[in-house]
Amino acid sequence: MTPFPALNCPDLEEQRRQLLARLVDFAIEAADPAAAVARGLCADELETSGRTVLIAAGKAAIPMAGSVLEVLGSRLTQGVVVFPCAIAPPKSGGSRLRFVPGSHPVPDEHSVAAAKAVAEAVTSLRTADRLVLALSGGATSLLAAPRPGLQLADIVELNKRLLRCGASIEQMNCVRRHVLSLGGGGLAQLAAPSQGIALLLSDVVGDDPAVIGSGPLCADPTTFSDALEVLRKLDLARALPAVQDFLERGSRGEIPETLKPGSALSAQFEHRLVGSGPMAASAVAKRAGQLGLVARVDPRPLVGDVEQAAERVAAMARVMSQDDTARPAVHILAGETTVSVTGSGKGGRNQELALRAAVHLAGLSDVAVLTLATDGVDGQCDAAGAAVTGSTVERAMRLGIDLGASLANNDSNVALKALDCLLCTGPTQTNVADLAFIARW
């Protein structure tokens, strides 16, 4: 297997750089959506006298849909595949698949049109019909049609503010389940009385089906009041008056709640996890062990404020540096950090994690940290992450790069690009959140 060529880090010897590149390759391969679907879906379990309809949505929608089509063959009647506009659709998917672009990370008119296409595909389903949902990260934004009473502009502003304030994915999707027509079991309500299965490629810590893609077929354990409390806790309520008013009306019972646990409809759709960050991390560890590395997956998710995460990564690196074991080692972490954006720079959570870790690693001569957004897109940049070492800060000083100022302005991409430390894979058409690798030579 040829490693991704776009991993540069002048602080690393070529052999070590190539080794890190192979770990990236292993990670993307381990999160392969088509293989995940093939492992998780059996054609015989969808035997029916009626139609079988596929809805695929998310960053991995195209390969997941292709795999469903391969597994089901002629049993698949039709499908709608919703993918990010930045990804080119396949030239041919057969007459049964309709490819519809949506917008991510901020929804637009494409997202509304995509949600409408999905709704139209399922509203005629009957008891004998079967629905297959292939869901991956990014689906919430790609299918962002507002519920009646809200406008697209309200949803756009909500997304922008949630992305900038450091909200967790659980907080974001608690709100979005209540303001989007397909979230919080909205798709299940449209698809009734059919039955079906959701194949989940998880990009969220804990792999909660209600959070992944905002749970289109899943019962929602949260309420309008919970969503309103999230907005207030994040200090966003006053900045989003239309959303606040909508949630307040819902909390008073003036707007129907989302699908709730215990309802008969919620039991009609099985949710099956086919891929996740921890699953990918374990697969990478196995492959790394075959290369002679002492490989370990940290069971604790890498979550929370990016500075605290960087301190944790650096502390692990220091412990590894003091280990006198002869064999090289790699520790792998999976999760998703949060960044409270206060500056006007360019970056993403993986790049900022790497740059902050570099500051804490200063002086360590035998360790490196590599961060990876498994979808290949970190923030709104063309980078997936970065590789840094204990020498990165010293080289930045020689080059006159003020890392403190870069971090204060959330400008990690510009600083790492100047340092030639970026990892660029391009869109990978998968998404199991983020991985971080701590390597000791």
- Considering the domain architecture, whether residues 313 and 208 belong to the same structural domain is answered as no
Report how far residue 197's alpha carbon sits from residue 351's, in angstroms, rounded to the nearest whole number.
36
**CA pair distance 250, 225, nearest whole angstrom:** 8
- Which residue among 212, 242, 275 closes a domain? 275
User: C-alpha distances in angstroms, 31 versus 24, 95, 133?
Assistant: 11, 28, 18
Cα torsion 317, 320, 322, 327 to 10°: value is: -140
Give the pLDDT confidence of 144-184 residue by residue, as tens digits. 999 999 999 999 999 999 999 989 999 999 999 999 999 99
- Which of 278, 306, 305, 227 has its CA nearest to residue 435? 278
Beta carbons of 90 and 102 less than 8 angstroms apart = no
The pLDDT assigned to 8 comes to 84
Sequence-separated (6 or more) residues with CB below 8 Å from residue 401: 415, 418, 419
- pLDDT band, residue 6 (cuts 50/70/90): confident
Instruction: State the virtual CA torsion across 243, 248, 251, 255 in degrees, nearest 10.
Output: -60
Structure confidence at residue 4 (pLDDT) = 46
For the beta carbon of residue 398, count every other beta carbon within 10 angstroms: 8
Query: Are 309 and 278 spatial neighbours (Cβ–Cβ below 8 Å)?
Result: no
Give the Cβ contact number of residue 2 at 10 Å: 7
Sequence letter at residue 394: E
| DSSP string for 254-269 | SSPPPP-TT-TGGGGE
Q: Is there a single domain that holds both residue 21 and residue 103? A: no
Q: Which domain holds residue 415?
A: 14-30+278-440
One domain for residues 293 and 213: no
Whether the predicted pLDDT of 94 surpasses 90:
no
Residue 1's pLDDT band, with cuts at 50, 70 and 90, is: very low
Angstrom distance (rounded) from CA 381 to CA 363: 29
Question: Rounded to an integer, what distance in angstroms lies between the CA atom of residue 278 and that of residue 338?
Answer: 18
Say if residue 217's pLDDT is above 90: yes
Residue 366 in domain: yes
Instruction: Say if 175 falls within a structural domain.
Output: no
Lowest mean pLDDT among 41-50, 133-142, 170-179, 196-205: 41-50
Average pLDDT over residues 111-124: 98
User: What is the per-residue pLDDT across 221-252, written as a single tens digit (0 to 9) for each?
Assistant: 999 999 999 999 999 999 999 999 999 999 99
Determine the pLDDT at residue 380.
83
- Asked if the model's pLDDT at residue 2 lies above 60, the reply is no
Please tell me the predicted confidence (pLDDT) of residue 92.
Answer: 67
What pLDDT, on a 0 to 100 scale, did the predictor assign at position 93? 61
CATH number at residue 378: 3.40.1480.10
Alpha-carbon gap, residue 272 to 343, rounded angstroms: 40
pLDDT at position 166 is 87
pLDDT at 5 over 50: no
Q: Is the dihedral of CA 60, 62, 65, 66 positive or negative?
A: negative
Strand, helix or coil for residue 164: helix
pLDDT of residue 9 exceeding 80, the answer is: yes
* Distances in whole angstroms, Cα of residue 81 to Cα of each of 55, 64, 166: 6, 9, 30
Checking if the pLDDT of 220 tops 50, the result is yes
Overall domain count for the chain: 2
According to DSSP, the residues that pair with 55 across neighbouring strands are 80, 133
Q: Does one domain contain both 332 and 435?
A: yes
Summarised one tens digit per residue, pLDDT across range 366-415 is: 999 999 999 999 988 899 999 999 999 999 999 999 999 999 999 999 99
**Residues 373/429, Cβ–Cβ less than 8 Å:** no
Position 3 pLDDT exceeds 50: no
Q: Is residue 302 scored above 80 in pLDDT?
A: yes
Q: What SS3 class is residue 405?
A: helix
The one-letter amino acid code at 233 reads K
CATH number where 199 lies: 3.40.50.10180
Q: pLDDT (tens digit, 9 = 90+) per residue, 35-92? A: 999 999 999 988 889 999 999 999 999 999 999 999 999 999 999 999 999 888 887 6
Q: Are residues 87 and 23 in the same domain?
A: no
For the chain, the residue count is: 441
Q: What is the mean pLDDT of the chain?
A: 95
Three-state DSSP state, 225: helix
Tokens representing 144 are: 């962002």
* Residue 266 sits in the same domain as residue 207: yes
271 and 284, same domain (yes or no): no
Within 10 angstroms of residue 123's Cβ, the number of other Cβ atoms is 10
Terminal alpha carbon distance of the chain: 22
Domain membership of residue 200 (yes or no) is yes
Q: Helix, strand, coil: what percent of the chain each, to 5?
A: 40, 20, 40
